[in-house]
Structure 1
């Protein structure tokens, strides 16, 4: 005769989790799952359109955007062949200006176009160097001359006025 111990329910009768009615459960087959997934993807795509339009509008105007002119330094404080780091257009945007000769100044955003490492002016080599992956840039044009970078450094247009050097705008390059 079987023992009463083996026929006992292994959980408390008051526990509601054992009372699930499987016949009334919602059925979700593969087709229903795919329809739900496609619907969710469609809702996500449509809801992201306004943000994409805002981003595209902002990016389209960056090449022409002129920022408030920012004084970098006085002409007398930057000797021929020397460089100076500064912030432009924002306080978190590193930049570098180089005085190539008596009347020629070039400025670039100070982040390598490969992986955004800082770029340094090496006066003795007459070029800009990214020490992270041995990238080299031509100081005259900002174009890469060696290493992994493929795009030139974004140029910052400068203006000399009343013995001072001002940053005016960032010239963007097409990818």
Structure 2
């Protein structure tokens, strides 16, 4: 096959166009993948003074994320549950269910954390009581500094159950095969 001037110029044009497109796409690809590579430092956040939290009470708190950007707004706040165990000891649990990431709520009359989405139930110490959650609630480190309760925030260790699983027959799930009803047949 003979290389003509037309074929040479066409190959050079296509090659230089592909090279320019590759160079132009590097920042775009970097923009989409940079959040996965970005590391957030663990930071201590004030959540209130000692006298705000009665001994034995579990209250909801909001933590500001360490990687918050000025335009994040409410998205930079994450929920957590703080329990004052005694005069100087606190325990903080994530408000995120370990099953699929739904928010959990504290039911004080039952002393349980409940996930309304798939029936996940946690004891007051964060251990799984029932439902499909594979792990206990994540805990955050807590300290008291100069009369202020501080919680160390760091990104959650995301280890949710497979999202493509409909939870039918998950161990301990309320959605078990014997409870699934077939849709009514059309007459």
TM bin, normalised by shorter chain, reads 0.5 to 0.7
1:97 alignment partner in structure 2: 82
1:164 is aligned to 2:148: yes
Match of 1:152? 136
Whether the 8 Å CA contact 1:81–1:101 is kept in 2: the answer is: yes
1:87-106 per-position Cα deviation (integer Å, ceiling 9, x unaligned): 21344312221123333211
Q: Which has the larger radius of gyration?
A: 1
Distance (whole Å) between structure 1 residues aligned to residue 83 and residue 137 of structure 2? 13
Taking structure 1 as the reference length, the TM-score comes to: 0.56
Structure 2 residue aligned with 1:122, among 96, 101, 107?
107
Paired with 1:77 and 1:148, the residues of 2 have a C-alpha distance of: 34
Check whether the contact 1:111–1:153 (CA below 8 A) recurs between aligned residues.
yes
Correspondences of 1:27-46 after superposition (within 5 Å): none
- Provide Cα deviations, 1:116-167, integer angstroms capped at 9, x if missing partner: 3321223343332223322122433x34232111133332222111222112
- Partner of 2:37, secondary structure, is helix
- Count of paired positions: 126
1:48-68 Cα distance to aligned partner (Å, 9 max, x none): 76357523422xx34xx222x
Give the match for residue 117 of structure 2: 132
Counterpart secondary structure, 2:141: strand
Consecutive unaligned residues of structure 2, counting only runs of 5 or more, are 1-21, 66-73, 160-187
Measure the CA separation in 2 of the matches of 1:150 and 1:101: 29
Query: Which is further off, 79-88 or 142-151?
Result: 142-151
Which runs of 5 or more structure 1 residues have no equivalent in the other structure? 1-42
Whole-angstrom distance in 2 between the partners of 1:171 and 1:152 = 16
Match of 2:42 in 1: 66
SS at match of 1:129: strand
Q: Please say if 1:80 is aligned against 2:64.
A: no
In 1: Cα distance, 2:153 partner to 2:139 partner = 8
CA RMSD of aligned residues (A): 3.0
Q: Tell me what 1:106 maps to.
A: 91
CA contact (8 A) 1:159 1:167 kept: yes
Gap change, CA 1:151 and 1:132, over 3 Å in 2: same
